[in-house]
Structure 1
Amino acid sequence: MKFDDYSIPAEIKRNLADLGFRKPTDIQFKSIPPILKGEDVLAIAQTGTGKTAAFAIPVVSMLYERRNARRADGIKCLVMVPTRELALQIAGVFEQIARHTGLKVFCVFGGVEQGPQIAQLEAGLDILIATPGRMFDLVSQGYIRFQRVEFLILDEADHMLDLGFIKDIQDVIRFLPRKRQTLFFSATINEKIKKLAYSLVHNAIRIQISPKDPVAKNIDHSVVFVGMDDKRFFLERMIKEHPDSKILVFVRTKVRAERVLKALERVSIVSQTIHGDKEQRDRLQVLNQFRTGVVKVLIATDVSARGIDIPNVDYVINYDLPEQPENYVHRVGRTGRGTQKGQAFSFCSPEEKPMLDEIEQFLTKPIKVVSIDPEVYEETVDTSDDAKFDLKALMQEAEELEKGRKKRKKK
């Protein structure tokens, strides 16, 4: 089936053609028809499978058709997301699909001045993408009203629960009309998510793509066993052996991110970090530099990069294993987007072996192991330009970073 075969407006079909969308992905193929019929949908699909377009295409189509029949002021579609970067990304998809329709799309999030956001809200819009914190601030001030909402969409719902947004999700329901269409999208599902989902939807169509293997089949992922203090040497080697590749490195904490950046600086490798301590403007600038290839190496924490669709990421490196097993799926899913192939490597130290066991239990199968010849291991460490820095100096550096972070928090 092609997008031309769907019962959607010609303007939307032209926009999809301009974007290079010819045939729907599995999640789009299964989600678009029931959404167009007015059904509530609970959809579980791997990251990188086209979930955003799966709800944006039918929602834009329906709002555009209804707009031609009647025009009522107010927000018609509310999309709730966990992070600022994801809000901007989803807004971009809606804007592309809604081009030339007259539908107005906008996103609100914290970390920036609210004045320009208020001005846009007062000018009127149809589709609002929002993070909970700033959204409720603007609701309490009377700038956001939900009485006209026809669609509620929760995206990256599992991550929203991880961040403690369950009460915010439940609170927003009080402001919405009872008669609405609810779309619930998530990459993973557990009992907590099921309970929340079924409390929000009405006789929902349940859609689940590739439930047996949460990692997309076009991602080649493996684990490498290395000592905790040797990880920087193997990361250095990986980057230097692939100088033209776009590499996304995941670490566990903000302090670790800055520490890895410093280690790469010492061996003349340019990289950037993205985490919660950075100003929003800086985070967006870093993402843009990585997206466009100006910077080839980005070091990220889970919260910062969850759900972000960055094109052409060649390699994902789990410098630290994630503490939450499901985050492994989201991390490796930053590569191999859509129909592209991708590779992911996880550096596992002896003390992280229990985390690896939990990840493999979550995946219901072992992760392929890449063995390192002892001579190659020794050569990688000994030939590094960073080998002259001893552990004591690195620990001191980490302590200084931690002190700096605490000072910034006090301010």
Structure 2
Amino acid sequence: MKFEKYAISEAIKKNLAQLGFKRPTDIQFKSIPPILKGEDVLAIAQTGTGKTAAFAIPMIDRIHRKKGRQRVFGITCIVLVPTRELALQIGGVFAALSKHTRVKSYPVIGGVEQDAQIARLQDGIDVLIATPGRMFDLIHQGFIRLDSLETLILDEADHMLDLGFIKDIQAVKRMLHRKHQTLFFSATINPEIKKLAFSQVKSTAIRISISPDDPVAANVSHAVLFVEMDDKRFFLERFIKEHWDSKILVFVRTRVRAERVAKAMERVGIEALTIHGEKDQEERSLVLSRFKEGTVNLLIATDVSARGIDIPDVNYVINYDLPDKAENYVHRVGRTGRGSHKGVALSFCSTEEKERLEEIRQFLNREIEVVKIGKNDYDFTLTLSSRKTGAEALIEEHEAWIRSRRRKKS
């Protein structure tokens, strides 16, 4: 069924059409009706499948209709998220979908001055998107009140619970003075966290699971290259130079690694941006903006950018370092192949990381295609279906690089 057939306001339908959204994704199709009815929902769906719109569309419609019938005061809905970048992104989705409606939304995050946020809150909003720290600061200062709250939404719910935010969630619930709706959305969830999540929703909550056996969207092709740690930067250089026009997101383990890899690329004439927790919020926002706009096509990131960030047209995700947790692989590679777009996830795996690779394979419940280097260093095979021609060129370049290194050693 197309969005134009849904029983939602015409303003929202117009906004969806302008954004190019014609039909709901599976998670949207299954989530929107129960949310409109006010039911609790716990939803698990692959990255890049439109989870934000799945809760934003019905929430905007409900608030818009209610404000058309009666005067509404105070915050009606809170969306709690684990990272600042995700809060800003969700704020953008709400802003785009609520144009020409009566709904006002606003993201509140830490790492920036609070005065502008306080002024905006005092003007009055309906939907608050927030990270827990700043939200509780403003609650304690009296600038946020939850008297009118009807819906609590957790995005990246597994990460929120895993990070220990359960006490914050319970604290919010204790502040509520009326019957309320709770929505949990995530791409991955383990049995322990699932049990914790179920304890926070009604026993009648709607449970939705889209493609539970394959947590990564089918639009993403996976490949792994076995390469020793000291050689990774050379492989990355060759790959980037074979794909100059592509947008490439590289994940590393630590902020120190991010800066080192960026400097290594810059030494060979490749401009790179970095994003990690050591940068202040203004700098992180500027980096993401430049990468999204395409002024620089290489971003090197820690897992601060692996959760929920929607960056348009990322062609490749490269796991320069394999993640410590298998589920983080899903969130990393979910930055490509979003919506109807195709993407490639390439992992560099050193000898000491092979155990992590096996954990990832088991978590995905699938094999990962392998870029093999034969015993004689010239026996190459590759099955990167989405970009085979470019990858074959990469191999030819690497073969030449091996020869040049041998000549230098001799």
Alpha-carbon offset, residue 381 of structure 1: 5.0
Q: Which residue number corresponds to residue 63 of structure 2?
A: 63
The match for 2:221 is: 220
CA distance, structure 2, for counterparts of residue 35 and residue 252 of structure 1? 37
Equivalence for 2:315 = 314
In the alignment, the residues of structure 2 paired with residue 142 and residue 81 of structure 1 have an alpha-carbon distance, to the nearest angstrom, of: 21
In structure 2, distance between residues paired with 1:29 and 1:381:
52
Deviations 1:245-297 (A, max 9, x none): 00000001111101101110111100000000001111000000000100100
Displacement of 1:380: 3.2
Q: Structure 2 unaligned runs (5+)? A: 379-394
Equivalent-residue separation in structure 2 for 1:31 and 1:22 (angstroms): 16
Show the counterpart of 1:236.
Answer: 237
1:47 counterpart SS class: coil
* TM value normalised by structure 2: 0.91
Structure 1 residues 326 and 334 mapped into 2: Cα distance closer, same or farther (>3 Å)?
same
Partner in structure 2 of residue 33 of structure 1: 33
Map 1:244-283 to 2 at 5 A. Answer: 244-283=245-284
Give 3-state SS (helix, strand or coil) of 1:221's partner: strand
After TM superposition, the structure 1 = structure 2 runs for residues 181-196 of structure 1, keeping only pairs within 5 Å, are 181-196=181-196
Report the alpha carbon displacement of residue 383 of structure 1 after superposing the two structures with TM: 5.1
Instruction: Work out the CA distance in 2 between the residues paired with 1:381 and 1:125.
Output: 60
Match of 1:329 in 2: 330
Code of the aligned partner of 1:345: L
- Quick check: 272-281 or 363-372, which moved more? 363-372
- Number of aligned residue pairs: give it: 386
3-state secondary structure, aligned to 2:321: coil
- Structure 2 match to 1:339: 340
Which amino acid letter does the alignment assign opposite residue 287 of structure 2? V
Query: What's the % identity of the aligned pairs?
Result: 67
Measured in 1, the distance between the counterparts of 2:129 and 2:192 equals 24
Residues 249 and 318, structure 2, Cα contact 8 Å, conserved in 1: yes
Distance in 2 (CA, whole Å) between partners of 1:382 and 1:320 is 26
1:303: Cα distance to partner?
2.0
SS at match of 1:220: strand
Correspondence 1:12-411 to 2 at 5 A? 12-202=12-202, 203-373=204-374, 374-375=377-378, 379-380=400-401
Deviations 1:93-112 (A, max 9, x none): 11111101131110111000
Q: Is 2:150–2:178's contact at 8 Å kept on the other side of the alignment?
A: no
Distance 1:304 1:360 in 2: 22
3-state DSSP of counterpart to 1:370: strand
- Aligned-pair distance for 1:333? 0.8
SS in structure 2 opposite 1:68? helix
SS state at 1:20 partner: coil
Deviates more, 1:253-262 or 1:370-379: 370-379
What is the alpha-carbon distance in structure 2 between the residues aligned to residue 380 and residue 233 of structure 1? 9
Deviations 1:27-69 (CA, angstroms, capped at 9, x unpaired): 0011111111111111000110000000000000010001111
Take 1:75 and 1:232, find their aligned partners in 2: how far apart are those partners? 49
| More moved, 31-40 vs 173-182 | 173-182
* Partner secondary structure for residue 229 of structure 1: helix
Deviates more, 1:336-345 or 1:166-175: 166-175
Alpha-carbon distance in 2 for matches of 1:6, 1:378:
56
Separation (CA, whole Å) in 2 of partners of 1:261 and 1:276: 16
Q: In structure 2, do the counterparts of structure 1 residues 382 and 306 end up closer, same or farther at CA, with 3 Å as the change threshold? A: farther
Native 8 Å contact 1:230 1:381 kept in 2: no
Please report how far the alpha carbon of residue 13 of structure 1 lies from its aligned counterpart in structure 2 after TM superposition: 0.9
Partner of 1:399: none
**One-letter identity of the residue aligned with 2:401:** T
**Partners of 1:244 and 1:269 in 2: CA distance:** 12
The answer to whether the Cα contact below 8 Å between 2:43 and 2:209 also exists between their aligned partners in 1 is yes
Q: Which letter does structure 2 place at the counterpart of 1:380?
A: W
Q: Distance in 1 between matches of 2:68 and 2:294?
A: 42
